[in-house]
Structure 1
């Protein structure tokens, strides 16, 4: 609706429940919810449409880095916050433990480079 409003980015939003709730209780901000799993975004986008929030709440299939680059280069308003809300998943089974988790920091959703990018996206330089 208004690209001069403060923006909150929900990186790794999954089904978008947090983004929808945030847009509902904070009507003065725009929310960009991003995840790499396009099928998950369909749920949140559908909910946003049903609740009439599509003007202030957008869903995009992108990585956190891609979204933050877009904010830095294209978003007119200030970046209010970047949310990285994700739990450590339970072990898939006793034998594999949490083998599905990234084995190196560079493979994680949030790494040092992503945090630096978030800081630059929020600066007025």
Structure 2
């Protein structure tokens, strides 16, 4: 069997569990070969199928996300390592980076709350060569992933990663003076049914936030004013139906909110000016 034939067969197999079956098959085949997807399609379609490919397809058929199988995910044109310790960065979150860069293009200090893979901080720092960043997360394994990504991108010298838990008193000590604050906190209502690839594989602690999905905004927003430098801005990702509620929490905390939409036109980010 050639690679072209194996891809057709895998796409048929995966179509029962994935809306992107052909793409998944190609990414997994490229990973098995150790080449890029473009290189696969241009140069390897008539080659022999690697022995590991069938196992990769089985894992995807069982709803394991492709990013966890390959250990990689692109975000804001940056290649990132990911693991089940962190949420997989989504393209929808790129609007947060765009909003932050537009709001404070001269920012020199960036704070990322709940960094996970480091995607938000590292994407922002990659476009702000004058800036330094601090990222916090309560999960040591997530911090290791983020620090590894910083090293791979040559950003270790401009970033620091600290284990902090914003549900505990004193977590914000020493973090003040940020020109930009970034956060993609948990915002899914507890008990909400999720796709099997998310529910069975991604970290629930980074997803669920109480009965209305707002628990972590209630914890974070009252402290933003003291964490921001004068003229500073915070950008927080939200669920598609949370703009009004999060904006109200921002105003109650003395912040001025502005809502940004993602490419699908859904409310995605609340920018908050001190």
Q: Please indicate the TM-score interval, normalised by the length of the shorter structure.
A: 0.5 to 0.7
1:109 aligned counterpart, secondary structure: helix
Match of 1:122 among 214, 222, 228: 228
Does the Cα contact within 8 Å between 1:32 and 1:58 map onto a contact in 2? yes
Q: Which residue of 1 aligns with 2:216?
A: 109
Bigger relative contact order (CA 8 A; separation at least 6):
1
User: Which residue number corresponds to residue 79 of structure 1?
Assistant: 178
User: Residue 70 of structure 1 is aligned with which of 166, 174, 177?
Assistant: 174
- Residue ranges of structure 1 left out of the alignment (5+ in a row): 73-77
Q: Is the 8 A contact 2:114 2:136 kept in 1?
A: yes
Give the secondary-structure state (helix, strand or coil) at the position aligned to 2:142: helix
What is the TM-score when the length of structure 2 is the normalising length?
0.34
The 8 Å contact of residues 36 and 61 in structure 1, kept in 2 or not, is answered as yes
CA RMSD after TM alignment = 3.1
* Structure 2 residue 164 is matched with structure 1 residue 58: no
Q: CA deviation at 1:59?
A: 1.3
In structure 2, the CA distance between the partners of 1:45 and 1:109, relative to structure 1 (3 Å rule), is: same
**What is the CA-CA distance between 1:80 and the residue it aligns to?**
0.7
C-alpha distance after superposition, 1:65-86 (max 9, x if no partner): 75532223xxxxx421211224
Instruction: Specify whether residues 104 and 12 from structure 1 end up closer, same or farther in structure 2 by C-alpha distance, changes over 3 A only.
Output: same
Bigger CA drift: 79-88 or 22-31? 79-88
Report the TM-score, using the length of structure 1 for normalisation. 0.67
Cα distance in 1 for residues equivalent to 2:187 and 2:222: 23
